[in-house]
Structure 1
């Protein structure tokens, strides 16, 4: 059924008449139309493949060339549609954004000397999904998703999420970064400035995959590790990284 997953517990947000439920419903109902157009594209690919075979003197193999190109066209068309649907998985509730981001961070950062802590909070305050400590500094990261057609942009320093201001999204995470900075600096004696990042799993970001504004950085999952590593080494040495990681593990409540 639309909105269902064996890996994610049901949530009212993704059922009934929610945008996610209707998105899946229309997607499934549109499957026959997508197949029809895929057959047409494959047929055109077959004709072009045969023509190319004849053009280059492959009279005996022109049919094979046509079949090969038809298969490539059909496969490419299927892959493009699958990718478009797969990108909405977090928004639809079929996958968890924090699990995706956590896996990306560990695969690409730990070998470069970074520590990744998941699900942390100052006692009595809101939690964040990931805390990253490494040679380039310290980051807190949360995960979010919006409808596929929602554009995220910054104009004249002001964030916009669709037609709404992004201040209500940015302000809490910026404040959490400040609170985490104060706690770690106080407990370790190491001056810390934490960069807040929001990983966007569904929604429209610019081609480069990054939007900055109001103290917050919006980034696509595929770009998040590159963004962190672009800070370069030198902000923290190995002893400071180890001290901050141990202190964070001890002082920040796991949620």
Structure 2
């Protein structure tokens, strides 16, 4: 892999001739071209800055205005370039999505009576990345990432990733939510309904930033806590939240 993190173990998925490997290779090879265009944009910004300085009677300060606008143009273009690459980090295997989402959930929810449990599984069954229990109910959240140009959408109630159906992604999470709800209801006596969610670290979501299809809610990691807090806060009482959290910590296996 041309780049990567020493904190993330190599994965065959991200090496050799994988899409991730080629994406990073081409991005690095294109750096001189991006730099050339950045200088050109900065030059245009410099000229516009001088023109604006003259237009508003800043004759002596027009050069300063030009330099300022040119520097802002250069910096803004560099920032956009860096962000476009940085947001593919999970897809490229340079960062772990569950660590990012877990940190965001705890930062936003922990002070508002929500409990966040990371890496849980029913013994002998598939695991989930996060279990959230709070006044608005219970959620399970997994993390996934697709190539930057993969469009994620809902058509006629069906989930699509590009031209492919998303049922193979949605169905297991919906079934896991039902299994977790059944276990918690049986062990606590509290009627539980769990909402399955998927944090999308890379891929094209619609302008709303949220896709709801086939029983699954998909959104960017930073939107997860907002969606959870938007739910009705009178679903579970403080005593029920505490009971469910203790039971989940005891009955669900850490992974």
- Give the structure-2-normalised TM-score: 0.99
Cα displacement (A) at 1:162: 1.0
Aligned residues of 1:3 and 1:21 also touching (Cα < 8 A): no
* Cα deviation code 1:187-218 (max 9, x no counterpart): 00000000000110001111121101111111
Q: Which runs of 5+ in 2 are unaligned?
A: none
Q: Which runs of 5+ in 1 are unaligned?
A: none
Partner of 2:138: 138
* C-alpha distance in 2 between matches for 1:49 and 1:6: 43
* C-alpha distance in 1 between matches for 2:58 and 2:232: 55
Partner of 1:228: 228
Aligned residues of 1:3 and 1:92 also touching (Cα < 8 A): no
Cα displacement (A) at 1:3: 4.5
Partner of 1:154: 154
- Give the structure-1-normalised TM-score: 0.99
Cα displacement (A) at 1:4: 2.0
2:184 matched to 1:173?
A: no
* Cα deviation code 1:138-178 (max 9, x no counterpart): 00000000000111111111111111111000010000000
For this pair of structures, how many residues does the alignment match? 255
Partner of 2:116: 116
* Cα deviation code 1:34-71 (max 9, x no counterpart): 00000000000000101111111111111111000000
Which structure 2 residues correspond to residues 24-35 of structure 1 after superposition, within 5 A?
Answer: 24-35=24-35
* C-alpha distance in 2 between matches for 1:17 and 1:158: 31
Q: CA RMSD in A?
A: 0.7
Local SS of the residue matching 2:190: coil
* Cα deviation code 1:209-246 (max 9, x no counterpart): 11011111111112111100110310000000000000
* C-alpha distance in 1 between matches for 2:120 and 2:161: 26
Partner of 2:103: 103
Partner of 1:62: 62
